Amino acid sequence: MPDVTVLDHPLLRHKLTLLRDKHTTTAQFRQVAREVSLLIAYEVTRDLPLEPIEIDTPLERMQTEHLAGKKLCIVPILRAGNGILDGMLDLVPSARVGHIGLYRDPATLQPVEYYLKLPTDVADRLVILVDPMLATGHSAVAAASRLKQSGVTAMKFVCLLAAPEGVANFTQAHPDVPVFTAAIDRELDSHGYIRPGLGDAGDRLYGTR
């Protein structure tokens, strides 16, 4: 059974509508993408383990809890993945950040890596791989494979929107990597766009079209 979570929260659904609306400006899109990412990060980190700790409040000593287990590393797939990095860092500011850059070879249509920079201890961290759009899934599949080659054993994948084809391809290639998304849309069109979708996430984030 594929491990896919479609997040369901009124704030998320409202903000996703803003992202989809073609009248949303670049500045608004960027801000809302950040807010949505924070809300998704809240859900993705829901199962982080805690351990007991004793602290002093201003009034007395108490038993409480703090995070234990693997530290986090967020890895955006360039360039659109950067649009959901800041919202995640708003919630987990001490997370490390890696970057992976992939482009699509026009002849083979396969993703080719052009950039990779990861923390040296990435293998010891829980990696959250992020890309706003899980369309064909080719980039996400390649990025997750590359992270595994780099020693990563604990990973989750986060996107804002997914196409059924992308979900199928990713979960088949990486059944051990849970997927979190705000919505799964109807289909992928012949140009590789998610429908109804929100357009080209990179262009909408950076105003390049």
> Catalytic residues, which ones?
104, 108, 200, 203
Cβ neighbours, 10 Å, residue 172: 11
Q: CA-to-CA distance for 205 and 22, rounded, in angstroms?
A: 12
- Residue pair 21/29 in contact (Cβ under 8 Å)? The answer is no
Q: Which of 133, 159, 160, 162 binds ligand URA (CB under 6 A)?
A: 133
* 159 near ligand URA, judged by CB under 6 A: no
Site for ligand URA in 2-41 (CB under 6 A): none
Minimum CB separation from ligand URA for residue 114, in Å? 17
* 206 near ligand URA, judged by CB under 6 A: no
Which residues make beta-bridge pairs with 155? 127
* 42 near ligand URA, judged by CB under 6 A: no
What is the signed CA dihedral for 41, 46, 49, 51, rounded to 10 degrees?
100
Whichever of 86 and 200 has its CB closer to ligand URA, that residue is 200
Whichever of 34 and 125 has its CB closer to ligand URA, that residue is 34
**159 DSSP 8-state letter:** -
Site size toward ligand URA (CB under 6 A) is: 10
Q: Which residue intervals of the chain are DSSP H helices?
A: 10-20, 26-44, 85-91, 138-149, 164-173, 201-206
Site string for ligand URA, 165-184 (x = CB under 6 A): --------------------
Minimum CB separation from ligand URA for residue 12, in Å? 18
The region of 8-16, 69-77, 140-148, 191-199 touching ligand URA under the rule CB under 6 A is: 191-199
Q: Could you tell me which residues come within 8 angstroms of residue 156 by beta carbon, excluding any fewer than 6 positions away? A: 44, 126, 127, 128, 129, 177, 178, 179, 180
- Residue pair 129/140 in contact (Cβ under 8 Å)? The answer is yes
Whichever of 178 and 192 has its CB closer to ligand URA, that residue is 192
Site string for ligand URA, 72-111 (x = CB under 6 A): --------x-------------------------------
* 194 near ligand URA, judged by CB under 6 A: yes
**69 DSSP 8-state letter:** S
- Residue pair 127/133 in contact (Cβ under 8 Å)? The answer is no
Contact residues for ligand URA (CB under 6 A)?
80, 133, 135, 192-194, 197, 200-202
